[in-house]
């Protein structure tokens, strides 16, 4: 029997998008130490995001937020067996090159870090490692996909513990997808123009009724109910950042959010897992913050 | 017309949506499975790719692990891909110490044996029972390191089995649900059909 071994391809778009597909129905947790990463894996996280400070602390500390120290990322890679993601600044392709060299499983070109380029995002097709990017609306999502993103997440407003912005972004993206689904072929040109997005991607949405890559929810989720809310609205998975390790009992909360994400339609399970998990992070209102991370990105 | 087969897809975490679509494209009726009530009426179960440690946690928390072990012991048809194959394997290498296995297949599987995401790859593989190669996506894929005497190798790549079968359990290291080629799903459905004929509900 001939086993052809000549045509193996790594880093292709289907291979990148494939990992995003594997992370569906799961919870990706922000962690800043190997101990936190272990706790996340114990709780059933499907991946962790390795970073130096959770968004709530970045918000509090101010200053320039950059890619994490490679040593810290390696420590987390050594501590867990699940996929490890890490963040690069918007447009900072050298930070992304370093993260790829470190062997992270997904790179988040993230508005939570201070942008490095005010006009350009990273050309993500040049990388073997898949990318996830944030979006506040469908046009932004499609521009990121046209640059090679294999996963889109709603931006929400990271570090606030307030789900309202994530919900706005999810509803905006999914609402426009629904409208495009009912548009006629002539209207698709107008949609592409209005969204400032490639016509081919708009046409693909009209045909399939969905985004060309998985859509996850991020930015302000703090409770099991928030996670199930995002899933019922149509997200395929959730990112939880500050919401776990800024709460009273991270281990219990992390496990509860994992169960809530799986059983998002089952109110009895949601009631059970929401009980006795201690206080969530305090959170802040949108009128109390002076820097909206979601406005970063072009 | 033949009655539709009813197939469950374990939907605790992972690529269950893609499997459900592939099964529907094959003409099957699909039930997503999150609780043991969801098992009612299904004739076979697919365990998708995803994160095997996450699935292990949720299998225990939902009480499904014991129910599934029991039905697999009685030969209930099951198809595991990637993480799903890990969950079915009798022995898991490089897993977490608390990770459970449903033991439906006598194979030793090494988690992420083909490496991290940067090593994930696409590859045409030869399945001797198919006329043309099958285009396979391996995503942080597990390696089958050893197989028991009753396990049949249906396809290999390099020197490793990548598609195996034992009685009514089918498993592969790669992701047939991520390509439009339905031949491996059809292979599973014919296993289910044969089982249903000899074990009517």
Distance (Å, rounded) from C-alpha A41 to C-alpha A181?
38
Residue B16 covered by a domain: yes
CA distance B38 to chain A (A): 12
Residue of B nearest to A99 (CA): B118
Question: Closest Cα partner for A47 from B117, B18, B34, B110?
Answer: B117
Distance (Å, rounded) from C-alpha B50 to C-alpha B37?
22
B94 interfacial to chain A (CB closer than 8 Å): yes
ipTM of the complex: 0.96
Partners of A26 on chain B (C-beta within 8 Å) are 13-14, 50-51, 54
The domain that contains B95 carries what CATH number?
A: 3.40.50.880
Cβ–Cβ pairs < 8 A, chains A and B: 141
Q: Which structural domain range is residue B59 located in? A: 6-198
Q: What is the pLDDT of residue A1?
A: 38
Distance (Å, rounded) from C-alpha A111 to C-alpha A109?
7
Residue B79 covered by a domain: yes
Active site residue A246: no
Query: Average pLDDT of A190-219?
Result: 97
Distance (Å, rounded) from C-alpha B36 to C-alpha B67?
7
Let me know: does A54 contact A243? Beta carbons within 8 Å: no
Q: Which H/E stretch holds residue A43?
A: helix A34-43
Residue B136 covered by a domain: yes
- How many domains would you assign to chain B? 1
What does the pLDDT look like over A22-66, one tens digit per residue? 999 999 999 999 999 999 999 999 999 999 888 889 988 888 999
Active site residue B82: yes
Question: Closest Cα partner for B146 from B136, B135, B159?
Answer: B159
B59 interfacial to chain A (CB closer than 8 Å): no
Q: In what order do the strands lie in the sheet with B105-110?
A: B89-93, B105-110, B143-147
Q: What is the pLDDT of residue B179?
A: 97
Could you say which DSSP state residue B49 is in?
S
Residue B188 covered by a domain: yes
Distance (Å, rounded) from C-alpha A224 to C-alpha A258?
8
Active site residue B177: yes
Residue B1 covered by a domain: no
Query: Average pLDDT of A183-196?
Result: 98
Choosing from B82, B168, B172, B185, the catalytic residue is B82
Average pLDDT score over chain A: 95
What does the pLDDT look like over A63-112, one tens digit per residue? 899 999 999 999 999 999 999 999 999 999 999 999 999 999 999 999 99
Q: What is the pLDDT of residue A2?
A: 42
Partners of B94 on chain A (C-beta within 8 Å) are 81
Nearest by CB to A129, from B83, B117, B139: name it.
B117
Choosing from A16, A24, A38, A87, the catalytic residue is A87
């Amino acid at each position: 029997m001939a086993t052809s071994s000549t045509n193996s391809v790594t880093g292709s778009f289907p291979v990148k998008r494939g990992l995003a597909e594997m992370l569906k129905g799961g919870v990706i947790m922000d962690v800043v130490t190997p101990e936190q990463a272990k706790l996340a894996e114990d709780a059933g996280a499907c991946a962790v995001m390795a970073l130096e400070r959770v968004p709530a602390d970045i918000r509090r500390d101010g200053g320039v937020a950059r890619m994490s120290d490679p040593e810290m990322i390696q420590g987390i890679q050594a501590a867990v067996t699940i996929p490890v993601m890490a963040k690069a600044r918007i447009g900072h392709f050298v930070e992304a090159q370093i993260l790829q060299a470190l062997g992270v499983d997904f790179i988040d070109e993230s508005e939570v870090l201070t942008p490095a380029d005010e006009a350009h995002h990273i050309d993500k097709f040049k990388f073997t490692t898949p990318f996830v990017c944030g979006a506040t609306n469908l046009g932004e999502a499609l521009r990121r996909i046209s640059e090679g993103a294999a996963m889109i997440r709603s931006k929400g407003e990271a570090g606030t513990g307030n789900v309202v912005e994530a919900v706005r972004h999810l509803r905006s993206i999914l609402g426009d997808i629904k409208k495009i689904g009912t548009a006629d072929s002539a209207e698709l040109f107008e949609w592409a123009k209005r969204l400032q997005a490639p016509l081919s991607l708009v046409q693909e949405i009209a045909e399939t009724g969905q985004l060309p890559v998985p859509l996850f929810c991020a930015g302000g989720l703090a409770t099991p109910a928030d996670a199930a809310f995002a899933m019922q609205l149509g997200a395929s998975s959730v990112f939880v950042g500050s919401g776990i390790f800024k709460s009273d009992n991270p281990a219990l909360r992390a496990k509860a959010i994992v169960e809530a994400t799986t059983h998002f339609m089952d109110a009895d399970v949601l009631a059970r897992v929401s009980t006795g998990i201690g206080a969530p992070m305090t959170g802040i209102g949108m009128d109390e913050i002076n820097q909206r991370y979601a406005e970063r990105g072009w | 017309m033949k009655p539709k087969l009813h197939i469950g897809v374990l939907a605790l975490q992972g690529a269950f949506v893609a499997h459900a679509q592939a099964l529907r494209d094959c003409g099957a009726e699909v039930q997503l499975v999150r609780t043991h009530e969801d098992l009612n009426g299904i004739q076979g179960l697919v365990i998708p790719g995803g994160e095997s440690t996450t699935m292990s946690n949720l299998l225990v928390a939902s009480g499904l692990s014991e129910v599934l072990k029991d039905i697999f012991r009685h030969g209930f048809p099951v198809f595991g891909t990637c993480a799903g194959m890990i969950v079915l394997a009798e022995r898991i290498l490089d897993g977490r110490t608390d990770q459970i296995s449903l033991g439906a297949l006598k194979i030793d599987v090494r988690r992420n044996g083909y490496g991290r995401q940067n090593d994930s790859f696409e590859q045409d593989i030869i399945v001797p029972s198919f006329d043309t190669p099958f285009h396979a996506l391996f995503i942080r894929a597990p390696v089958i390191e050893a197989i028991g005497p009753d396990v049949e190798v249906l396809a290999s790549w390099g020197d490793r089995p990548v598609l195996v079968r034992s009685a009514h359990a089918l498993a592969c290291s790669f992701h047939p649900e991520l390509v439009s080629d339905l031949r491996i799903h059809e292979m599973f459905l014919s296993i289910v059909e044969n089982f249903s004929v000899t074990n009517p509900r």
